[in-house]
Amino acid sequence: MFKAIVSADTLGDALDSVSVLVDECKIRLEEEGLTIRAVDPANVGMVDLTLDAAAFESYETDGGVIGVNLSRLEEFVGMADAGQLVQLELDEETRKLHVQIEGLEGTLALIDPDSIRQEPDLPDLDLPANVVVEGADIARAVKAADMVSDHIALGVDADEELFYVDAEGDTDDVHLELTREDLIDLTAGDARSLFSLDYLQDMNKAIPSDAEVTMELGEEFPVKLHFDIAEGEGSVTFMLAPRIQSD
Amino acid sequence: MFKAIVSADTLGDALDSVSVLVDECKIRLEEEGLTIRAVDPANVGMVDLTLDAAAFESYETDGGVIGVNLSRLEEFVGMADAGQLVQLELDEETRKLHVQIEGLEGTLALIDPDSIRQEPDLPDLDLPANVVVEGADIARAVKAADMVSDHIALGVDADEELFYVDAEGDTDDVHLELTREDLIDLTAGDARSLFSLDYLQDMNKAIPSDAEVTMELGEEFPVKLHFDIAEGEGSVTFMLAPRIQSD
Amino acid sequence: MFKAIVSADTLGDALDSVSVLVDECKIRLEEEGLTIRAVDPANVGMVDLTLDAAAFESYETDGGVIGVNLSRLEEFVGMADAGQLVQLELDEETRKLHVQIEGLEGTLALIDPDSIRQEPDLPDLDLPANVVVEGADIARAVKAADMVSDHIALGVDADEELFYVDAEGDTDDVHLELTREDLIDLTAGDARSLFSLDYLQDMNKAIPSDAEVTMELGEEFPVKLHFDIAEGEGSVTFMLAPRIQSD
């Protein structure tokens, strides 16, 4: 059993953070709220989403797992105007999801969860550096790097107490530094890893420009990006595997 | 003889309602105003437009029929800024239309009316159900149906006193209901017909979102959509033939 | 040596006026400011740009010439938000240009100036007619001509004291007249020349709609378009060669 009412904006933002990585996913319906974990087909980018029951206007379930086509569900939710509510209800018998928005009723076929890629475990990495930045700064770094390269290095200089971004192209380079003053918070520790820009661009699409994003970084380690959604009643963690640096 | 001055917005809106269906049309120049009737090449969608002489700043004609390429004429009219006036004048000798907008003068070659598809007659159908909705509701129904199907069913449930829209895809469905309260007016009578979504989408493009649209519906009958333009000094009627329902 | 600070808007507007014609150009670094002269590969359109030292927040150079890829430099400058400053600094040794914008540092490889097309001389033509129009009027003329033709005639009727634009298509024509009243200034003299619309469209992209544009015109002669940038602390002159009129 699953029946819930939620603002279309809240649900849409939550789904966006998953759909930037995968087309289909399992949604775990738990008493405390929804959770989604997914990894992209190349095993490079992962997402771990929770949307607490408190983020919903109403939320009832006795547990279960459903498989959804994310772009279909997002399209349905996108029919709502700003501020409108979406009602979701699972039809156990037909394995369909009923989506209701102000007189509009959609029925969405679910996907057999067993046919969907297994959910990843996002390992606890205990990384040495911890940086808290505004979402807008990540957007700026990604845009700048994109001018010159397909890769982006994220690092922390522990001595200088600064977070930096490097992108090196064949002829042109870009370098961005954010000092302790520019950052919301910094736990310095030497860190530098190279990442595929494509993935970070996709993740950036789901990060609100005014979000406080906590980045955990290490030396040639994955980066974790963590931010709240639904006014704190939900959260997203992205994890992105590093590229081997050729030099 | 034909010479008229009209606001670019009024003329543009009027032409749009025809150009969503056909590329060329005949314009009948009558003492009381302009009229255009046209049917698309597949004989599925028809339009009947009148733009009264009162909708013009000035309007003079001794009658006649001209053939126009709609996109060319719309492009010329589109040169006007919001609120600017367009002057139209027929040159009988050269069979060209002079279009004047604030110092800009265009000359548009006309098309031999005999080379244009014959004008259709929009039959009087005396349909059992009559629904008056806002243009925005049609837009919403069309957008919702488009998520799941190429077809859209429009119907009235006389007992429940409601207007409904159904679209059924291979796996997903959409259903929209507007009760008497949601509607501007309703003359209930059982009705349900299936239509090609493409045509309704095209017609919808010409319907202002705040227009009061009168829909006449029957059982497996064409639908008629009627709305005013030019602040009531003109009107558009679309007629759309039904698809045979396969089930 | 070259080191300068300038508002991103000022620099961006200046570069745009050159990049509508060429991909690469030489920038002459002179004590009084920057100058760029360039001609498109077909030798049809030329640009002569000056950006005075006074247009910069700070400006230091001991002279020299650098070659730049315009779209790369524009992309770097485009990283700035409205109102932000861009710092440019030439690294003589590596022949790279350092571009700095609020914590973001880019390094742009320069191009060997000798590998770039030679700079043209914009001849002094002493043309008989001189018209001063708003940039918006040029935009309107170009848009109107584009509806019917690939060419545009610009002319002055000395007797009628008016500036006109003609475009003749296979079936449709466009004619635009601006009288002395519509113009900012007019020095009448008979003039009429035909131009490729493509070039004028490109030049128009770099002309602010509220700019005062001085046009110098003759009989089958090039047209010169002159306007100020950087609030008068810089200027752009376009010169466009005429097409041979076939009739």
Residue A122: inside a domain: no
In a domain, C246, yes or no: no
Q: Which of B79, B114, B149 is the last residue of a domain?
A: B114
Residue A192, SS3? strand
CATH code of the domain covering residue B50: 3.70.10.10
Say if the ipTM goes beyond 0.95. no
Query: Per the CB < 8 Å rule, is C106 touching A182?
Result: no
- Give the span between the Cα atoms of C106 and C173, in whole angstroms: 50
- At position C214, the amino acid (one-letter code) is T
Q: 3-class DSSP state for residue B183?
A: coil
CA distances from A84 to A7, A8, A104 (A): 6, 6, 12
Residue C138 shares a structural domain with residue C103: no
- Does a structural domain hold residue C14? yes
Return per-residue pLDDT of chain B as tens, 247 residues: 999 999 999 999 999 999 999 999 999 999 999 999 999 999 999 999 999 999 999 999 999 999 999 999 999 999 999 899 999 999 999 999 999 999 899 999 999 999 999 999 989 999 999 999 999 999 999 999 999 999 999 999 999 999 999 999 999 999 999 999 999 999 999 999 999 999 999 999 999 999 999 999 999 999 999 999 999 999 999 999 999 765 5
Residue A192 structural domain? 129-240
**pLDDT for position C244:** 76
Interface residue ranges in chain A relative to chain C, Cβ cutoff 8 Å: 140, 143-144, 147-148, 171-178, 182
User: Residue B184: how many CB atoms within 10 A of its CB?
Assistant: 13
pLDDT reported for residue B82: 86
Q: Are residues B223 and B191 in the same domain?
A: yes
The whole-number pLDDT of residue B247 equals 52
* Residue where one domain finishes, among candidates B80, B114, B148: B114
Report the neighbours of B using a cutoff of 3 or more CB pairs below 8 angstroms.
A, C
C180 and C79 in one domain?
A: no
Closest CB to B103 among C171, C173, C178: C178
Q: Is residue B68 part of a domain?
A: yes
Please check whether residues A107 and A150 belong to one and the same domain. Answer: no
Closest CA of chain C from B107, distance in Å: 5
Angle at C181 between CA C177 and CA C184, to 5 degrees: 95
Q: How far is A163 from chain C (nearest CA, A)?
A: 11
Backbone angles phi, psi at A206, to 5 degrees: -95, 0
How far is it, in rounded angstroms, from Cα A65 to Cα A133? 34
Q: Which of A115, A143, A178 is the last residue of a domain?
A: A115
Residues C77 and C135 in one domain: no
Neighbours of A41 (CB within 10 A): 10
Number of domains in chain B: 2
- CB within 8 Å of A151: residues ≥ 6 apart: A145, A167, A168, A194, A195, A196, A197, A243
B76 vs C103: CA distance, rounded Å? 49
Distance between CA atoms of residues C64 and B135, nearest Å = 64
Q: What is the pLDDT along chain A (247 residues), one digit of tens a residue?
A: 999 999 999 999 999 999 999 999 999 999 999 999 999 999 999 999 999 999 999 999 999 999 999 999 999 999 999 899 999 999 999 999 999 999 899 999 999 999 999 999 989 999 999 999 999 999 999 999 999 999 999 999 999 999 999 999 999 999 999 999 999 999 999 999 999 999 999 999 999 999 999 999 999 999 999 999 999 999 999 999 999 765 5
Which chain B residues contact residue C148 at CB under 8 A? 106
Nearest to B164 by CA among B196, B199, B136, B192: B192
pLDDT 10s digits, B13-67 = 999 999 999 999 999 999 999 999 999 999 999 999 999 999 999 999 999 999 9
> Count of CB contacts below 8 A, B vs C?
36
Please check whether residues A87 and A188 belong to one and the same domain. Answer: no
For residue B119, being part of any structural domain is answered with no
The verdict on a CB contact (< 8 Å) between C174 and B72 is: no
Q: A182–C75: do the CB atoms touch at under 8 Å? A: no
**Which of chain A's residues have a Cβ under 8 Å away from the Cβ of C103?**
176-178, 182
User: Coil, strand, or helix at residue A237?
Assistant: strand
Same domain, C227 and C149: yes
Do A107 and A42 reside in the same domain of the chain?
A: yes
Q: Is residue C124 part of a domain?
A: no
Q: CB-CB: which of C79, C103, C107 is closest to A143? A: C79
Can you name the residues that pair with A157 across neighbouring β-strands?
Answer: A162
Domain shared by B156 and B81, yes or no:
no
Q: Cα(C135)–Cα(C204) distance, rounded to whole angstroms?
A: 8
- Indicate whether A246 belongs to any domain: no
Distance, in Å, from the CA atom of A240 to the CA atom of A217, rounded to the nearest integer, reads 10
Is residue A247 one of the residues assigned to a domain?
A: no
- On whether the CB atoms of residues B13 and B82 are closer than 8 A, the answer is no
> Is the domain of C92 the same as that of C145?
no
C-alpha distance from A148 to closest chain C C-alpha (Å): 9
List residues in chain C touching A: CB distance below 8 A: 72, 75-76, 79, 103-109
CB atoms C144 and B103 under 8 Å: no
Angle of helix C135-146 relative to helix C197-205, nearest 10 degrees, comes to 140
Q: Chain C: which residues have CB within 8 Å of chain B?
A: 140, 143-144, 147-148, 171-178, 182
* B99/B74 same-domain check: yes
From chain A, pick out residues whose CB is under 8 angstroms from the CB of B178.
Answer: 103
Residues A103, A159: one domain? no
